[in-house]
């Protein structure tokens, strides 16, 4: 390229392209998060350094319990989503061919183009006391009175799994698609059964897809706000809700910043651990 263009205009072009990228990253991503960091260590009254807001987090059981609960439930939701999505992704990638494959895959994707709010609303109509499932149970005689299915941990889990499904199915389908049928056939040809072909050939091949699916689903669950609040009700105890409360309701920005950074730390740690265990790189997994 440099043989075709003079070096100086080439350099100029690079700087011109570099400028918007840097403005975006510095002004909207890096500085705001540094600001959070500064906030979380600043005592607003004395304008001095303090550990107080982190101390508060560890001393108040409600805070750290919510934190742990959010992490554990997010991990569970991730595992559950993987288990549910894998057979579906396998079917789409390996059992279907041509047109029917495209249609079934699109059927998987289209629900997720609809707003999360609408999907959650749908679950509320299904699950609430006066909802569809409760009515069905009474009508079929399986239950004597209205059943409230909302506002439990299981409901939150259901909502999280539902909402993240796409982000698991898509990476799984694309890695499984890249597994040539002949590998599976070779596995059987050499005497393998369903189970060990799955375990020794299919799953090892699908690791990159599994890892990127899990990371995205985990991040989405951890950072979710709508689903726990709407499906879990008042007792949902989700950590993002705590952050919102500190910032918007209590106007305690310092405490909120500390919470936010703790959440970021947790998610980075788990993503890092996930990548380390599976030997994948961040750029490859995300890109």
Partner 1 sequence: MSKETTIDLACENICKHFSDFTAVDNISFTIPKGSFFSILGPSGCGKTTLLRMLAGFEQPSSGDLLIKQQSMLDVPPNKRPVNMVFQHLALFPTMNIEENIGYGLRRQSVPKSEIAERVAAVLERVGLAGSGKKRVEQLSGGQRQRIALARCLVLNPTLLLLDEPLGALDLKLREQMKIELKLLQKEFGTTFVYITHDQSEALVMSDQIAVMNKGKFEQVGTPHQLYYQPETAFVAGFVGDSNRWQGTVESIASSTVLVNTNDGLSFKAKVMGDKAISAGNSVEIFVRPEAINVSRTVPSEETDNQLVCQVETILFDGAKSQIIAVEKESGGKITVTLPQTSDFANLQNYDTIYLNWSAEQTLCFLDNAESNGGV
Partner 2 sequence: MIPSIKQSSRFNAIYQSYLIAFFIFLAAPLIVVAVFSFNDSLFPSFPWQGFTTDWFFSSEGNKIGIFFDSDLLNSIWLSIGIALVTTLLAITVACTNAFLFERFDFPGKSFLYMLMLLPLVIPGVLLGVSILVFSSEIANYLEDYWFIDLEFLRPGLTLVVIGQFAFITTICTLIISARLKKFDRSLEEAALNLGASPLMAVFTVTMPFLKPAIIGAAIVSFLMSFENFNTTFMLVGSDAPLTVAMFERLREGSTPVLNAISLLLMLGSGVLAIINMTMQKKSA
Question: Measured from the CB atom, is 210 or 222 closer to partner 2?
Answer: 222
Return the DSSP state at 179: S
CB 184, min distance to partner 1, A: 9
Query: Is 95 near partner 1 (CB under 8 A)?
Result: no
- 147 lies in the binding site for partner 2 (CB under 8 A): no
Task: Please say which residue, 194 or 268, places its beta carbon nearer to partner 1.
Answer: 194
Choice from 111, 200, 235, 248 touching partner 1 (CB under 8 A): 200
How, if at all, do strands 42-43 and 48-49 pair?
antiparallel
Does residue 50 contact residue 42 with C-beta atoms inside 8 Å? yes
Task: Check binding of 43 to partner 1 (CB under 8 A).
Answer: no
The alpha helices in the chain, defined as continuous H runs, are 7-23, 31-40, 52-59, 61-90, 98-109, 116-127, 132-139, 153-177, 181-189, 194-197, 203-222, 226-232, 239-244, 253-278, 282-286
> If binding is defined by CB under 8 A, does position 208 make contact with partner 2?
no
Burial of 273 (0-12, 13-18, 19+ CB in 10 A): exposed
Residue 49 touching partner 2 (CB under 8 A): no
Q: Which residues contact 284 (CB under 8 A, 6 or more apart)?
A: 208
Q: Is 205 in the site for partner 2 (CB under 8 A)?
A: no
Rule CB under 8 A: say whether 151 interacts with partner 2.
no
Among residues 185, 248, 250, 269, which is the contact residue for partner 1, using CB under 8 A? Answer: 185
Q: Which does 205 bind (CB under 5 to 8 A by kind): partner 2, partner 1, none?
A: partner 1
Q: Which of 7, 8, 48, 130 binds partner 2 (CB under 8 A)?
A: 130
Q: Terminal CA-to-CA distance of the chain, rounded, Å?
A: 26
Q: How many binding residues for partner 2 (CB under 8 A)? A: 93
Is the CB of residue 84 less than 8 Å from the CB of residue 108?
A: no
1 touches partner 2 (CB under 8 A) = yes
- The option from partner 2, partner 1, none interacting with 101 (CB < 5 to 8 A, set by class) reads none
Give 98 or 145: the residue with its C-beta nearer to partner 1. 98
**Interface with partner 1 by CB under 8 A: which residues?**
180, 182-183, 185-193, 196, 200-201, 204-205
């Amino acid at each position: 390229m440099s043989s075709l263009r003079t070096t100086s205009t080439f350099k100029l072009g690079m700087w011109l392209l570099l400028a918007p990228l840097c403005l975006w990253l510095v002004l909207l991503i890096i500085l705001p998060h540094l600001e959070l960091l500064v906030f979380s260590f600043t005592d607003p009254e004395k304008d001095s350094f303090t550990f107080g807001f982190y101390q508060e987090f560890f001393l108040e059981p409600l805070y750290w319990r919510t934190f742990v609960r959010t992490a554990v439930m997010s991990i569970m939701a991730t595992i559950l989503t993987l288990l549910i999505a894998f057979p579906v992704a396998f079917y789409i990638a390996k059992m279907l061919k041509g047109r029917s494959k495209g249609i079934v895959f699109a059927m998987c994707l289209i629900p997720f183009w609809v707003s999360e709010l609408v999907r959650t609303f749908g679950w509320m109509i299904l699950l609430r006391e006066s909802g569809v499932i409760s009515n069905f149970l009474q009508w079929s005689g399986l239950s004597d009175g209205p059943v409230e299915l909302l506002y439990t941990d299981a409901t939150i889990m259901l909502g999280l799994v539902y909402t993240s499904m796409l982000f698991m199915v898509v990476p799984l389908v694309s890695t499984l698609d890249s597994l040539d049928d002949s590998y599976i056939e070779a596995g059987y040809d050499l005497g393998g059964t369903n189970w060990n072909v799955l375990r020794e050939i299919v799953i090892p091949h699908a690791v990159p897809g599994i890892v990127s699916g899990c990371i995205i689903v985990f991040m989405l669950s951890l950072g979710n706000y709508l689903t726990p609040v709407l499906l879990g009700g008042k007792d949902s105890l989700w950590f993002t809700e705590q952050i919102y409360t500190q910032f918007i309701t209590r106007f305690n920005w310092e405490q909120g910043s500390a919470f936010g950074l703790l959440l970021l730390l947790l998610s980075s740690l788990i993503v890092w651990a996930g990548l380390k265990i599976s030997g994948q790189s961040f750029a490859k997994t995300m890109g």
